[in-house]
Amino acid sequence: MIELAALNARHGIPGQVTFKQGPGGPVVGEVTNAHASATLALQGAQVLTWAPRGQSPAIWLSRAARFVPGKSIRGGAPVCWPWFGPHATDPGLPAHGYARTVPWEVVETRALDDGATELALALVENDQTRAMWRHRARLSLRVTVGRTLKLALATLNAGNEDFVIGEALHTYFAIGDIADIRIAGLEGGEYLDKVGGGSVRRRQDGPISFAAETDRIYLNTEAECAIEDARLKRRIRIAKSGSRSTVVWNPWAAKADKMGDLGPDGWRGMVCVESANAADNVVTVKAGASHTLAVEYRVEPL
């Protein structure tokens, strides 16, 4: 059990960072500064919300999200690691890995000179995580809350043998309505259509628009992309490094109803644009080396 008084004494920043008991039990960090506000759950090191000052939230959190220890939280920016999607050989292991459902610890918090706030967290290994993945690795996430939101997910191979990871920052973005957005920047890219069975490869013709369930892994792309939102009259820019895949997902009505934690018509107000290394683009991390997947989200008028 995390001792909140000790956590705030060590890592709280008066007027900027406070740690509190969240709904359902998981501890949440609340960040407020001159540029933005954000919340982050220590379970999974999951950014739950981010809103630039004076603007509506750019990161979406379901109103029906369940805050249950050991279960993923619907919305925010879940960390998928050390594999993406179902495990390649063991269907009994959790989809998207275990990083998003286990405890992380706060390593450092800092008030930066430009007014932004930085938090560094590390995944806590235990017998349960080691049973799911035998490799010696250290996983950390650095979160910078400011005019932009920056996330840097770093994997250090602390063992004597190379290993392969799949990963994603599975970010849910808040939008006016799924029917009124388009995603620019992935034109001409090849993607795996998971709605079509996962093995179907297609080529993107023009910006992405939505009229049905969409679940795609865009391959071999390091490009910046942007969510252009006609209803909210804004553009969310998504820049990344250390990532060769971009995943685009919206479950649409029928699947959303079966999921149970998206809320009534919640699927209309969100779209996932995930910076990833998945499918053809999994990453080999050599013994003693490290790999970092980093993103920066920026909101601007459309």
Give CA–CA dist 177/174, Å, rounded.
9
Instruction: Give this prediction's pTM.
Output: 0.97
Residue 26's pLDDT is 84
Residue 6's pLDDT is 95
Q: If you average pLDDT over every residue of the chain, what do you get?
A: 96
Find the CATH number of the domain harbouring 268: 2.70.98.10
Backbone angles phi and psi of 63, in degrees to 5 = -70, -20
Residue 290's Cβ-count burial label (10 Å; 0-12, 13-18, 19+) is: middle
pLDDT band of 199, cuts 50, 70, 90: confident
* Residues 17-42: tens digit of each pLDDT: 999 998 877 899 999 999 999 999 99
* Residues 87-146: tens digit of each pLDDT: 989 989 999 999 999 999 999 999 999 999 999 999 999 999 999 999 999 999 999 999
What's the total number of domains in the chain? 1
Residue 1's pLDDT is 52
Residue 46's pLDDT is 98
Q: Count of H helices and E strands in the chain?
A: 3, 22
Distance of CA 282 to the CA centre of its chain: 17
Residue with tokens 């390091």: 222
User: Annotated active-site positions, please?
Assistant: 170, 274
What is the DSSP secondary structure assignment for residue 133, as one 8-state letter?
-
Residue 125 sits in which domain range? 4-301
